[in-house]
Amino acid sequence: MRRRHRFNLLIWLALLIVAVLEFGFSFAPIPAGARPILMLPAVLMVALVALGYMRLLTAPEIARGFAIAGIFWLTILLGLAMTDPLTRSVYAVIG
């Protein structure tokens, strides 16, 4: 097996291990204040894909710029999408 294939296989196995850990943590009774910790496996998976498969460390500057711009616009998109459910009020109907 060539070195690059072995590296891709290791990245894939790491992604599977992180996915299994994330699935296992989803059944754990975690208090509401500690739930943002569950984002860590997702961030680790993104880093593995970006650095392993996309090879952003050795990519040209334009590729890194587009990757950063994609993350920037995704953050804006998700932020704007969350304004509706986070600002919605529930009014009791008496009748």
67-85 pLDDT, tens digit per residue, is 999 999 999 999 999 888 8
pLDDT confidence of residue 36: 83
- Evaluate whether 42 touches 15 at the Cβ level (below 8 Å): no
CA angle 66, 72, 76 (to 5 degrees): 140
Q: What is the reported pLDDT for 87?
A: 85
pLDDT at 21: 93
Model pTM?
A: 0.73
Provide the pLDDT for residue 72.
Answer: 95
For the chain, which ranges sit under pLDDT 70?
none
- How far apart CA 71 and CA 91 sit, in angstroms, is 36
